[in-house]
Amino acid sequence: MKTKFRSEMWLGAVAVSLCGATAVAEIDRHHNGNPQRSTAEDFLGIGVGPIATGHHGVGPNQGEIPSLPIENTIDSVRQAYQLGARVVEVDVQLTRDGRLAVFHDDFLSDFTCLHDLTLDELQQRLPYVPELHQVLDAARHFNRKAGEDLGGILIVELKTFSPHCDPNDEFEEALVSAAVNEVRHAGMVDQVIPDP
């Protein structure tokens, strides 16, 4: 039930943005005067064949591979696009102050839940953790740079809260709402694929 609710909330909100507001979509495609080129619909509509995608950016790495940037960071996302990924997936968590941290787990190694920390407190402990809007900016840059080719598409995975951090299933609606608002604000509605 928990996953179904979250899926319907996220997909419903994006569907409203894509289908119910054509004027908004047109404004989004021309954010800051620069047209967005490829869209999530372009990616989902391509025929069967190989396509480069980046998981957590250039790949899972929490520091054990010194030659790669840490996963879910701006550097990791940029490197994935630079190496030819057309689509990059990142994970998103909600902090106590309602900000969207790009981070895989909903708790740290000492079992502190991310939603118990403000973004500043989280970044004091893990300085490399970016906000979603920063990753959206990087994707937008590569989307524009792709020209007529597919590129700069972002999959945003809203991470399910563990029972440790959300025993009463109270935080999903806030996470979904914040993520939808951030994607809309960034003008990336057509370039983001939700992964609830």
Q: Give the pLDDT score at 120.
A: 98
Q: How many domains does the chain have?
A: 1
The per-residue pLDDT for 8 is: 35
d(CA 110, CA 140): 35
Q: Which domain holds residue 159?
A: 2-195
Taking alpha carbons only, the member of 28, 43, 29 closest to residue 150 is: 43
Answer yes or no: are the C-beta atoms of 54 and 87 closer than 8 Å: yes
Q: Rounded CA gap, 144 and 13, in Å?
A: 25
**Looking at residue 195, what is its pLDDT?**
80
Supply φ then ψ for residue 15, to 5 degrees.
-60, -40
Q: Which residues contact 113 (CB under 8 A, 6 or more apart)?
A: 106, 107, 164, 165, 166
The CATH number assigned to the domain holding 17 equals: 3.20.20.190
The model's pLDDT over 59-86, given as tens digits with 9 standing for 90+, comes to 888 989 999 999 999 999 999 999 999 9
Q: Give the per-residue pLDDT at 122.
A: 98
Record the tokens describing residue 14, joined without a space: 């994006």
> At 36, is the pLDDT very low, low, confident or very high (cuts 50, 70, 90)?
low
Residue 24: pLDDT band (50, 70, 90) is very low
Comparing CA positions, the residue from 70, 175, 56 lying closest to residue 115 is 175
Q: What is the pLDDT of residues 179-193, one digit of tens each?
A: 999 999 999 998 998
Flag whether pLDDT at 131 surpasses 50. yes
Residues 67, 99: Cα–Cα separation, whole Å: 30
Q: List residues bridging with 92 in a β-sheet.
A: 102, 158
